Amino acid sequence: MLKKYYIPRLIQYFTVVFIGVTLVFVIPRLLPSNPVEHQLSRMMAQGQYLDPAAIEEIRETLQQLYGLEGGAFQQYVSYFKRLLTGDLGPSFTQFPTPVMTLIRQSLPWTVGLLLASLSISWIIGTILGGIRVSFPRSRLAKLIELVIMGVRPIPYYIVALVLLILFAFLVPIFPMAGGYSMGAKVGFNARFIMSLLRHAFLPILSMVTIEIGGWFLQMRNVASNIVEEDYVVYAEASGLPKAKIVFMYIMRNAIIPQITGFALNLGFIFGGALITEIVFAYPGMGYLLYSAILAGDYNLIMGINVFSIVGVSTAMLIVDLIYPLLDPRVRYQ
């Protein structure tokens, strides 16, 4: 039974990763910019005089260094060899810094930002969704639903811009950009931690404000079906305390899809919050990807997208494998 359950899912996982990584190789090469010629143009723009023989030698060296020598198939094989050894080559625009170094520098910012916003929005949305269904006649619950559903359709970059204008420009309570204050000593100290929190507050708030709606709606829809189940009706007829019915009978059974959604969304934290990080100039993966696309940095684009693909696929695999433990109605078969 276990083999029939695990093996097809593992095959599916590796297939998805392989296809995704292949697309990551192909798509950047469809861009009109040529990174080697771009690098040579930068050198020429700096006033360096190079004779044709030197230019050709530099071009060959850069193609070899960037993994762009040979035909498409040869580049593809070289790309997979590098990928399996964890070597994604140097960044074109920040040469000779390796791509892995840039990702390691940006990844903690994105993980912290998105993990905090995802956790906060999940907790608040789940609780409010369960309360709304459990107390259908409550005016406060109806008001909360009205506010959440009114805010949910607003694009999150609009919310980010409004918060930035209000609380960083008109009323400068929080900083406008960056991950921490200039001059702050990086380390585990109170001043640096407070600086991190102040710079991350508005980006997190902008994402939480919009994300709550999705978790609220999902929890409300699932819980609205559960309140009609026989065991909930029987519990109410038996005179059990309302709090026990809400948390032990309704929310406990409705939270399983929420846990699944939370686990799947964990994979997306490796991709970064593109617009939010651009608006707040936050030094995460999204901002790094945006810079790489503008500059046509193949290696950096591929590295960031590979992390995102593997992260999402792995999260989905883990959820799929442990889901029978979360939901007893599902069996390893």
Query: Cβ atoms within 10 A of the Cβ of 98, count?
Result: 18
CB of 35 within 8 A of CB of 66?
yes
pLDDT tens readout for residues 162-216? 888 888 888 778 777 777 666 666 667 777 777 778 888 888 888 888 888 888 8
Query: What are the distances in angstroms from CA 297 to CA 44, 285, 300, 301?
Result: 19, 14, 6, 6
CA atoms lying within 13 Å on the CB side of residue 64: 6
CB of 306 within 8 A of CB of 83?
yes
CB of 255 within 8 A of CB of 270?
no
C-alpha torsion angle, residues 276, 280, 283, 286 (rounded to 10): 20
Q: Identify which of 311, 288, 295 has the alpha carbon closest to the alpha carbon of residue 179.
A: 288
pLDDT at 310: 82
Q: What is the pLDDT along the chain (333 residues), one digit of tens a residue?
A: 556 767 878 888 888 888 888 887 777 677 666 666 666 666 666 665 556 666 666 666 666 666 666 677 777 887 788 778 777 777 777 767 788 888 888 888 888 888 888 889 888 888 888 788 777 777 887 888 888 888 878 877 788 888 888 888 887 787 777 776 666 666 677 777 777 788 888 888 888 888 888 888 888 888 777 777 777 777 777 777 777 777 777 777 777 778 777 877 776 666 557 778 777 878 888 788 888 877 767 778 778 888 888 877 887 787 777 766 665 555 555
Could you check whether the bond before residue 96 is cis, i.e. omega within 30 degrees of 0? Answer: yes
Phi (first) and psi of residue 98, to 5 degrees: -65, 150
Cα–Cα distance measured from residue 149 to residue 151, given in angstroms and rounded to the nearest whole number: 6
